[in-house]
Structure 1
Amino acid sequence: MSRSTIAPTPAPDRALVFGRPLRVLAWLSFLAEVIIIGTGGAVRLTGSGLGCTEWPLCTPESLVPLPEQGFHGIVEFGNRTMTGVVGVLALAVLFLTLAAVAGRALVLRAVWFALGGIVAGAVAFAATAAAGLGAFAFSAALLASVVAAAVDSVRRAPRRRDLVVLAWLVLAGVMAQAVVGGLAVLTDLNAFVVGFHYTSSLLLVCVTAAYLERLRAPEGPRERAVPRGVAVLTHVTGLALAATIFFGVLTTGSGPHSGDDDIVRTGFDATVLAHVHSWPGYILLALVVVLLAVAWARSLPTRTWMLVLLLAIGVQIVVGVIQARTGLPELLVGTHMVLAALSAATYTVVVLRLKRPVAG
């Protein structure tokens, strides 16, 4: 067999150049996902949830809030504007990721998919506008094109498919989030839709954190870097964290901060839920203390981030107790929401560090 017929061997992972622009934008994307939780919380806590009464327009006649909508309109539209910032950052990270792992060709394919999605969206909009569903039909068609483009990119990426998948997840998630936000407005801030909106935002914070962690890690097979028992207990800790966040979302959804003064919560007893929310929270704290002690005693690679997780959860508990005893002041409730997202992001990094690259 001649040398010319032999397929080229991919260069080692270190030959891939993830330049400073990509790393900076990836961090900005993470920070923007955290910030939008804060701005979304501000919308809810200032009673501005219906500051814009329509979606995607702010009013039936205007994209931006009118003077008569006052402060609430500005707050709500500010959060919508932040969604645009998050989307632009997610798109930039995606294109730079595709360019780094596969070159310009894969970026151009993604652009063609996007153009096709816009055309399909325009057709869907025209077909459903009379029924008042044009915006949702357009968004659905565009999101479908993003999913198709993501599948195509992952299949064609010669390496670092983990980063490609994560970058596409962020972009698709941001788009889906915009639609969920619209549903929240159109359902008059239904507590379950609003709760799902927050939970989805929290998951996007975790995905951007995972991207940052994987960006610094080399490509290739990975092996467990901690004892099996520690890995199992870490995943159990994740269940406790998920339960804490779930009951926290239900508690907030049943509390006084409904997002608009004219909306009154009914259903669950917020006082009872506040106690139920605390139970997995204290279990979570105990599990993290145990894992941290083991990690430091055995010099495990999770020890630093486990310490960060302990600090985040400790502050979270203190804020939660204070807000419960002081009548749920808006600033503390908003802080509690952001801390929950940061805790989940930190836990994501801990989980990813349970494994390490196989020594070559």
Structure 2
Amino acid sequence: MNRFGRLPVSLPLLRRLALASVVANVIIVVTGGAVRLTGSGLGCPTWPRCTDESYTTTSEMGIHGVIEFGNRTLTGAVGFIALAGLLAALTYRPRRRSLVLLAGSVLLGVAAQAVIGGITVRMQLHPGVVGIHFVVSMLLLLSTYAFWRRVDEGDAPARLTVPRPIRTLAWFTTAVSGAVIVVGVLVTGSGPHAGDEDAARNGLDPLAISQFHADLVFLLVGLTVGLLLALRAANAPAVAVRAAVVLLVVELSQGLIGLVQYLTHLPALLVGAHMLGACLVWLATLSVLWATRVRQPAAPATVADQVAASTTPAPALSR
């Protein structure tokens, strides 16, 4: 038995917990968007309490307080999933340092997001802090995705499955995808959905920053098409070609949502869908990057192996 006094953690359980972290962090991005799009960003006007006297919402705060407090409660659930993932990584035998570090980064990221969320409220939804909150969410998705993928990978150095120039193109595509997200945050910060009617905007010209955002999207789609053609020409593994196709489809779908929301003057429902789309584009981009290299799969340990690893006495120190 391991030191937690439980049966050893299985590889499938670890995989499910890692995937749960990915899904939970996408969900909280969407619900966080709902807070802003309903004007509930200051539904709980202070932090860590909801009011100066109460940690929970009160009837006087109405629906906005319920929405904001609900999102704070969901943050606790996301943190619980991250903690479970870290405990599972610590418990898994033989213990893998890479999994522990990745799971730990997820938990630290969730904690950091809670603090940034509090600062966002304290700063009265300043668009700069709100933007940082969203960008950190994307970095947290990177950590959760890396944790999920590493569960089934070994810890040997990665080996490229495509020519190096294609790998470089995949990295460049990832960088542009990240830039699209950052500029998208600036677009949102210049628009009407501030989360509260009294919250400030970033002062950028919405038309100009939207055009720059669109230009980056065109660049990203062009790079993805080029990457897909290069993968096919190089007879890359099917998983890499498939990942590039999925990325292109997600990008085009996200672009269509962005165009329609712009032409219809940013209805809240479409803006929320666009936020979900940003998460999906980012995850699809990471999928392509991961598909251009491979690590030897991690061999699942049997229960007997895990028990033996957890009960083997530490070597005696030499005198």
TM over 0.5: yes
Partner residue in 2 for 1:135: none
Where in structure 2 are there 5+ consecutive unaligned residues? 1-7, 298-319
Partner residue in 1 for 2:289: 351
- Counterpart Cα distance in 1 of 2:44 and 2:222: 43
Partner residue in 2 for 1:150: none
The equivalent position to 2:245 in structure 1, one of 291, 307, 311, is 307
Whether 1:282 and 2:212 are equivalent positions in the alignment is: no
Contact 1:34 1:205 in 2 (8 A): yes
Give the TM-score normalised by structure 2.
Answer: 0.86
Whether 1:33 and 2:6 are equivalent positions in the alignment is: no
Residue deviations 1:233-280, cap 9 Å, x none?
Answer: 111111211211111000101110000012242511112111011111
Partner residue in 2 for 1:125: none
Whether 1:180 and 2:116 are equivalent positions in the alignment is: yes
- Counterpart Cα distance in 2 of 1:218 and 1:313: 31
The equivalent position to 1:83 in structure 2, one of 75, 79, 89, is 75
Q: State the identity %.
A: 43
The equivalent position to 1:326 in structure 2, one of 247, 260, 264, is 264
- Counterpart Cα distance in 2 of 1:29 and 1:258: 27
- Counterpart Cα distance in 2 of 1:231 and 1:321: 31
- Counterpart Cα distance in 1 of 2:202 and 2:108: 33
RMSD: 1.7
Partner residue in 1 for 2:204: 268
Partner residue in 2 for 1:238: 174
Give the superposition deviation at 1:101. Answer: 4.1
Give the superposition deviation at 1:214. Answer: 1.5
Give the superposition deviation at 1:299. Answer: 3.2
Partner residue in 2 for 1:210: 146
- Counterpart Cα distance in 2 of 1:265 and 1:92: 38
Whether 1:257 and 2:249 are equivalent positions in the alignment is: no
Amino acid aligned to 2:26:
V
Partner residue in 2 for 1:50: 42
Distance 1:358 1:97, change over 3 A: closer
- Return 263-272 or 189-198, whichever deviates more: 263-272
SS of 1:295 mapped into structure 2:
helix
Distance 1:257 1:226, change over 3 A: same
SS of 1:302 mapped into structure 2:
helix
Give the superposition deviation at 1:162. Answer: 2.3
SS of 2:92 mapped into structure 1:
helix
Counting only pairs closer than 5 Å after superposition, residues 122-137 of structure 1 correspond to structure 2 as: none
Whether 1:198 and 2:150 are equivalent positions in the alignment is: no
Give the superposition deviation at 1:38. Answer: 0.5
- The runs of 4+ residues in structure 1 deviating greater than 4 Å are none
Where in structure 1 are there 5+ consecutive unaligned residues? 1-15, 103-156
Amino acid aligned to 1:174:
V
Amino acid aligned to 1:316:
Q
Give the superposition deviation at 1:170. Answer: 0.4
Whose helix proportion is higher, 1 or 2?
Answer: 1
Contact 1:288 1:306 in 2 (8 A): yes
Give the superposition deviation at 1:19. Answer: 3.0
The equivalent position to 2:161 in structure 1, one of 205, 225, 235, is 225
- Counterpart Cα distance in 1 of 2:277 and 2:270: 10
Give the superposition deviation at 1:311. Answer: 1.3
Give the superposition deviation at 1:33. Answer: 0.3
Counting only pairs closer than 5 Å after superposition, residues 31-180 of structure 1 correspond to structure 2 as: 31-102=23-94, 160-180=96-116
Partner residue in 2 for 1:145: none
Contact 1:17 1:100 in 2 (8 A): yes
